[in-house]
Structure 1
Amino acid sequence: MATAFSFSQPLRLRTLSSATLTMSGFVLTKDYVRKAFSHLGEIQDLEHRKKFLTEYTVPNVTWTCTGSAHSLAGTRHSVQDHEDATFKRLGRNLTGPIKFTATRVIVDAEREQDGWWCTVETKGEATRTTGQPYNNEYAWLMRWNDEGKIVEIRSYWDTMLSEKVLLGQE
């Protein structure tokens, strides 16, 4: 009688490479990244929203707003410095916080020497004080440490729209 399975050959298990294994056992996954980003979708409960910055980001994160021809460009070396230079400045011309929704998450299959890398594409939605919508699209390239915290972010987005918001233009 034939069977669908043959056990005459030893079973080989697929394992992660040694470059992927860490002392902490942390492995970056899409689900983990989506969970972290879900906090940025909260615009009513601001304490819940802050969890992205307090639970998933190191305080001394290196956060780069790429580019050079806009006023938000630059590299900051703390959550507070980044908030002051970007979110708070934009927030003066928005009626509330930007609601970020992750639309695509790409995670490197293996850990690099400097940590885990992923890219998150997001929508950012808010209302300007002029009544116009603020609908922006972002891509954040992020490096995570072995404790599951973000240590570096490089953000890309429609900077012209942000400049219009900063200037109070429609």
Structure 2
Amino acid sequence: MVTHEHVRNIFAGPSKGDMASFWSHVEPNVDWTVKGTHCKVSGRYRSIEEFQQGTRALSSTWAGPLHLVIQNVIIEGNQAAVELKAVNTQTKSGDPFPNEYTWVLGFNDNGKIATVRAYMDTDLVTRVIEKNPQ
């Protein structure tokens, strides 16, 4: 069973800009869907590598590391809905990146993230990508 403590531990690193620590909690063949219809990074990814490549149009816009801070966690069985906010993150053009997310995480029996449905401000993401091309 997933706990609040487990979820908060997963995001301890990302809150400090250490996304590398997050990936150790994710199955290599994660099924990750970024919701949205007109956003360049929206789509379904079936591995960590595919997700990282598919979202590079966004991650390449940041001037430094992304800092994701938990705002709220709701748990039901082996799933957790995690509200996140990007803080202390700027784009290469110098603009703040105050995106807010909700990630619905599905955990396997080993406590690793096996599925993600990610919701975010796709309008902000689209504008940031357009202003900071790769």
TM-score, normalized by length of structure 1? 0.73
Deviations along 1:106-159, one digit per CA (max 9) or x if unpaired, are 011xx3xxxx11100000131011111010100000100110000000000100
- Aligned ranges 1:1-170 → 2 under 5 Å: 27-43=1-17, 46=18, 49-54=19-24, 56-86=25-55, 88-108=56-76, 111=77, 116-125=78-87, 126-168=89-131
Moved over 6 A (4+): none
Letter in 2 for 1:73: S
Deviations along 1:35-58, one digit per CA (max 9) or x if unpaired, are 101121122xx4xx312112x110
User: Which structure 2 segments of 5+ residues have no match?
Assistant: none
Letter in 2 for 1:155: A
Letter in 1 for 2:124: L
Equivalent-residue separation in structure 2 for 1:29 and 1:167 (angstroms):
39
SS state of the match for residue 99, structure 2? strand
Equivalent-residue separation in structure 2 for 1:33 and 1:94 (angstroms):
25
Letter in 1 for 2:93: T
User: Which structure 1 segments of 5+ residues have no match?
Assistant: 1-26
Q: Percent identity?
A: 30
Tell me if the contact between 2:40 and 2:57 (Cα under 8 Å) persists in the aligned partners.
no
What RMSD, in angstroms, separates the aligned Cα atoms of the two structures? 1.3
Higher relative contact order (CA 8 A, sep 6+): 2
Q: Which has the larger radius of gyration?
A: 1
Q: How many positions carry a matched residue from both structures?
A: 131
